């Protein structure tokens, strides 16, 4: 290939690209688009935040009175109390053992069969 052939091919390619750009600009102007190619769209307005109820902390949910309300004379596993209050095992056991030392509840069974009973006051 001769240098003049290469120059002629590149010139033809440039002309083809120029015509394609002009055609795209004609389509864009006929569509009535006012946005420039690199112009960003305006930000969407934010919705106002919804008012939320204040969440109760685990300490508020896990009071002695709350745990005592969940206990029955027949006995309740600590797992049931934990699931109703949404607390950890250690948090529930700490409250139950404190109530046991005060004489307000008693424990029967061992390990997974342990049940916590309310003591009539």
Per-residue pLDDT, 58 = 59
Report how far apart, in Å, the C-alpha atoms of 21 and of each of 24, 34, 60 are.
5, 17, 68
User: What is the C-alpha to C-alpha distance for residues 110 and 77, in angstroms, rounded to an integer?
Assistant: 11
Tell me: do 66 and 103 sit in the same domain.
yes
* 47 belongs to a structural domain: no
Give CA–CA dist 10/107, Å, rounded: 92
Does one domain contain both 114 and 62? yes
How far apart are alpha carbons 68 and 77 in whole angstroms?
13
pLDDT at 13: 95
Q: For residue 95, what are the domain limits?
A: 58-118
Contact in structure between 78 and 96 (CB atoms under 8 Å)? yes
The per-residue pLDDT for 9 is 93
Q: Which residues contact 84 (CB under 8 A, 6 or more apart)?
A: 70
Give me the tens of pLDDT residue by residue for the chain, a chain 121 residues long. 789 999 999 999 999 999 999 988 888 777 665 555 667 777 788 877 777 776 666 555 678 888 888 888 888 898 888 888 878 888 888 888 888 999 989 999 988 888 989 887 5
Whether 10 is in a domain gets the answer: yes
Residues 112 and 73 in one domain: yes
* Shared-domain flag, residues 71 and 111: yes
The pLDDT assigned to 56 comes to 61
Domain check: are 23 and 66 in the same one? Answer: no
Q: Can you give the pLDDT at residue 61? A: 64
Indicate the pTM of the whole model. 0.49
Q: Is residue 44 part of a domain?
A: no
pLDDT at 19: 93
Tally of domains in the chain: 2
């Amino acid at each position: 290939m001769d240098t003049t052939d290469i120059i002629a091919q590149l010139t033809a390619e440039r002309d083809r690209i120029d015509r394609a750009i002009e055609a795209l600009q004609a389509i864009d102007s006929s569509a009535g688009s006012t946005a420039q190619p690199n112009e960003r769209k305006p930000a969407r307005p934010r919705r106002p935040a919804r008012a939320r109820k204040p969440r109760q902390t685990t300490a508020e949910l896990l009071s002695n009175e709350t745990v005592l309300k969940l206990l029955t004379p027949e006995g309740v596993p600590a797992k049931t109390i934990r699931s109703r209050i949404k607390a950890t095992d250690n948090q529930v056991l700490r409250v139950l053992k404190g109530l046991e030392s005060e004489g307000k509840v008693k424990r029967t069974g061992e390990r997974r069969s342990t049940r916590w009973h309310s003591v009539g006051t």
